[in-house]
């Protein structure tokens, strides 16, 4: 079963938008490693280069539920701001959530309703004489486009299909994001203190949770040292 996932900075500052872009890269790399198929269906560009306010994607695969167990929730990045060097804050949270109860719209060209009409305004010899303009409507969502770019009705029809599909999918994404925005603050408040993943460092390759192994190694060294002392 397909899963619609959103990685979002919520209402977080620019630093959180940077974290979204970095987390998305790691997320997709792990998805590939776990043979999880994905399709990015929308990106909301951030306020600076290489930043994202959110990314919405569809995941496919038999192990997708198991894969998401290690991702769904809040994600914490610990580090100094990459935009404000002297900013005191070092903990930056973003969220990764499943958009439940909504399915990706399967756009079907056979459902489009076409209406031809005369082109409007000044133009070639066919303007206001032949019905070369095309209005395409998608009844399932009520979205429509009007195309009169070409003197050819066929070319206008092809363009209307492309533009209508983009418009319908954009409408669907807006609905998803509206639901996500309504639930974001609640999720963040509940999960801020218990992040599912913790990263640190500007290279974003180190998982902060792995530092626990340093304590274990240190403890083992002390135990080995004490053992040697006992032997002596």
pLDDT of residue 84 exceeding 80: yes
Alpha-carbon distance values, 169 to 52, 106, 117, 119 (Å): 19, 9, 26, 27
Q: Is 74 left (phi over 0), alpha (psi -120 to 50) or beta?
A: beta
Q: Is 50 left (phi over 0), alpha (psi -120 to 50) or beta?
A: left
CATH architecture type of domain 2-103+192-219: 2-Layer Sandwich (3.30)
Domain 109-174 falls in which CATH fold?
A: Double Stranded RNA Binding Domain (3.30.160)
Write down the residue that tokens 């580090």 correspond to.
79
The dihedral through the CA atoms of 14, 17, 21, 27 has a sign that is positive
Q: Does the predicted TM-score (pTM) go above 0.85?
A: no
Q: Looking at residue 104, what is its pLDDT?
A: 56
Query: What does the pLDDT average to over 36-49?
Result: 91
Q: Where are the domains of the chain?
A: 2-103+192-219, 109-174
Q: What is the pLDDT of residues 103-135, one digit of tens each?
A: 556 778 899 999 998 877 655 444 556 788 999
CB 34 within 8 A of CB 61: yes
Domains 2-103+192-219 and 109-174 alike in fold: no
């Amino acid at each position: 079963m397909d899963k619609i996932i959103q990685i979002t900075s919520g209402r977080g500052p620019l630093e959180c938008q940077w974290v979204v872009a970095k987390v998305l890269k790691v997320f997709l790399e792990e998805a590939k490693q776990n043979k999880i198929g994905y399709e990015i269906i929308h990106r909301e560009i951030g306020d600076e280069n290489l930043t994202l306010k959110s990314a919405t994607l569809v995941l496919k695969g038999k192990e997708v539920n198991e894969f998401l167990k290690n991702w769904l929730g809040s994600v914490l990045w610990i580090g100094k701001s990459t935009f404000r060097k002297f900013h005191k804050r070092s903990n930056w949270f973003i969220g990764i959530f499943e958009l439940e109860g909504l399915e990706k719209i399967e756009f079907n060209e056979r459902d489009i309703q076409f209406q031809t009409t005369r082109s409007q305004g000044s133009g070639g010899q066919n303007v206001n004489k032949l019905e070369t303009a095309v209005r395409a409507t998608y009844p399932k969502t009520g979205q429509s486009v009007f195309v009169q770019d070409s003197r050819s009705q066929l070319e206008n029809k092809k363009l209307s299909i492309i533009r209508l599909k983009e418009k319908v999918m954009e409408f669907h994404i807006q609905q998803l994001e509206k639901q996500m925005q309504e639930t974001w603050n609640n999720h963040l408040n509940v999960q801020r203190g218990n992040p599912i993943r913790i990263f640190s460092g500007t290279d974003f390759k180190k998982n902060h949770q792995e530092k626990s192994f340093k304590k274990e190694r240190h403890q083992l060294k002390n135990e080995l040292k004490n053992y040697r002392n006992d032997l002596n």
